[in-house]
Chains A and B, each alone.
Chain A
Amino acid sequence: MDRFLSLFQDYDILGAFWANIQLTFWAALGSFVLGTILALMRISPVPSFQWVGASYVNIFRNTPLTIIIVFGVLGLYSQLQVQLNENFNLNFFMLAIVGLTVYHAAFVCEAIRSGVNTVPLGQAEAARAIGLSFFPAAWLIILPQALRGAVAPLGNVLIALTKNSTVATAGSVAETSGLMRTMLEFNGDIALLIFLIFAVGFVIIVIPIGLATTWLSKKLAVAR
């Protein structure tokens, strides 16, 4: 028990989790915006937009996140001299957020598209019948209903994003997986305890997200 408490004193475990939560928050915001734009492009009548949306999804959904994050540091930063912030650490943090955003935007796009599938045809027909063209119809009629239908899959993306924020360690960001590695290296005798602290930490974060999105998806579901 003493060892357990001293672990929390010697290492900033909560700070590491806070870093993951921040990564998740900003990447969730970014990928939601980008994913919504991509979804609109994919259902639009313009061939070039459709093509861009589909290519984006196919490319980023099939690339390992690790490569994207590593590319942020070794490619964007070291080779292409892309610097998002003067502060060294903050720069890596922001690059990791960009990496998480572009990867998860592809999944958000697919989640919203699956939500579009839940909107009955009659809605689109009615929108057309009152004279709305594509963009107003999509923005005012289809998307609001699609988002309600997409709450459950979007929640799954958020859960995956929360867990994937640990990959930011490959982008030189100080967060849980890096801290756990340091702790394991110096306290090999209580390795299982250390792992369980972090594992339970993630269970505590992830389970409420799952419960909340399940509850929300039922509450927001359009009664038909």
Chain B
Amino acid sequence: MSAHRQTVLFDAPGPRARRRILIANVVGILLVAAILAVVLIRFAEQGQLDAGKWSPFLQADTWLNFMLPGLMATLRAAAVAIVTSVVFGFLFGVGRLSHLAPLRWFCSIVVEFFRAVPVLLMMIFLWIGLANVRIFPPQDVPFIAVVTALTLYNGAVIAELVRSGVHSLPKGQREAALAIGMTRQQSLRNVEIPQALVAMLPALLSQFVVILKDSALGAIITYVELLNEGRRLGSAEGNMVPALLVTALIFIVINFALTALAHRLSRYLSSRTASRTAQVSPTPNLLPGEDTAEPAKRP
């Protein structure tokens, strides 16, 4: 949208407008510099810029003992949760499309319930609840709680993606499938869902970013992932601020890469489906049919 849109919102600037833009630009740069300076001065005053606070990141031990194991734990939880929530999402998404009314209602209630409940509440409940019933070895309970809670919430969101993906296909796709003698189930399985899947891939990738980000909630329920390891490093080396900033940076880099991939994918895939491959914002929609309220992207 950007380039196209922006050339319309304001005229091609003449000499005066160019001067004004230049002045505003300089003011903007100065403002950013001023804010950065205030932050850095604050950091320096509190001794956060001392070499000793940052030098641990130059040592292999810091990475081998703290950051990399933490990153592995985060990625492990996220990877397992991604697989299980895609499975969950497809089962319940297809369930909501079923023509068996009771099955449809059941799936709808499950999906709407898990979309409305905060992930953290589910995590804490599963963590303490599973510790009480003693089915799993105690050291695995936080991991299971994290993965299950992420699965229930994100699976419900993916179920919505599947459903809205099928609904946003042109009607002609189903009509054509029925016309050549397919049953409704066959049409769903062989024609509609494969195309909906292609259309929803970018949104699915955005949801993976949500899963990765929310896996940091595991830190609250003592799952030893990247944030927890970063915090441990911060207390061990007495460099909490740098430790948390580096932890955040690792998350940002991974998520940024995933988001960029989603963008490229949505552009590439738009020729492969009868549906539109709009990027869906990573915040969840609550009610069915809300997706249609999403504004269509300008060509």
Contact = CB atoms under 8 A, between A and B. Distances in A.
Interface of A: 43-49, 52, 58-59, 61-68, 70-71, 74-75, 78-82, 107, 110-111, 113-118, 121, 124-125, 128, 133-134, 137-138, 142, 149, 152-153, 155-157, 159-160, 163-164, 166-167, 169-170, 176-177, 180-181, 184-185, 188, 191-192, 194-195, 198-199, 202-203, 206-207, 209-211, 214, 217
Interface in B160-185: none
22 contacts: A43-B9, A45-B21, A47-B25, A48-B24, A59-B252, A62-B209, A63-B251, A63-B255, A64-B248, A67-B248, A67-B251, A71-B244, A71-B248, A74-B234, A81-B46, A107-B282, A121-B8, A134-B10, A156-B281, A157-B283, A177-B118, A199-B117
A43 B116 contact: no
A124 B9 contact: yes
A interface, by DSSP: helix, strand, loop or mixed?
helix
B284 A156 contact: yes
Given A137-B9, A177-B124, A214-B293, A66 B281 contact: no
Given A107-B281, A156-B286, A163-B118, A149 B295 contact: yes
Contact of B283 (A62, A68, A82, A160): A160
B261 interface: no
Nearest to A121: B8
A111 B118 contact: no
Contacts of B13: 45
Interface in B247-279: 247-248, 251-252, 255-256, 259
A216 to B, nearest CB: 11
Interface of B is mostly: helix
Interface of B: 1, 5-6, 8-11, 13, 17, 21, 24-26, 28-29, 32, 42-43, 46, 48, 113, 116-122, 124-125, 128-129, 132, 209, 213-217, 219-220, 227, 231, 234, 240-241, 244-245, 247-248, 251-252, 255-256, 259, 281-287, 289-290, 293-295, 297-298
B25 A153 contact: no
Contact of B46 (A80, A115, A157, A184): A80
Nearest to A41: B28
Contact of B251 (A62, A149, A156, A194): A62
B32 A52 contact: yes
A130 to B, nearest CB: 12
A47 B256 CA distance: 21
B164 to A, nearest CB: 13
B213 A217 contact: no
A192 B259 CA distance: 37
A61 B259 CA distance: 10
B121 A166 contact: yes
Given A46-B24, A156-B283, A199-B117, A66 B216 contact: yes
Given A121-B8, A203-B113, A188 B128 contact: yes
Contacts of A107: 281-283
A67 B247 contact: yes
A121 B286 CA distance: 30
Given A65-B213, A70-B244, A114-B294, A203 B117 contact: yes
A206 B294 CA distance: 19
B9 A160 contact: no
Given A62-B209, A64-B251, A79-B240, A117 B118 contact: no
Contact of B116 (A167, A185, A207, A217): A207
B147 to A, nearest CB: 16
A180 B285 contact: no
Nearest to A163: B118
A155 B28 CA distance: 31
Contacts of B215: 64
Contact of B129 (A49, A166, A192): A192
A49 B124 contact: no
A47 B32 CA distance: 13
Contacts of A177: 118, 120-121, 124, 220
Contacts of B42: 80, 82
> Lowest 9 CB-CB distances: which A-B pairs, in order?
A48-B28, A64-B216, A210-B286, A62-B255, A152-B293, A163-B118, A195-B125, A118-B295, A66-B216
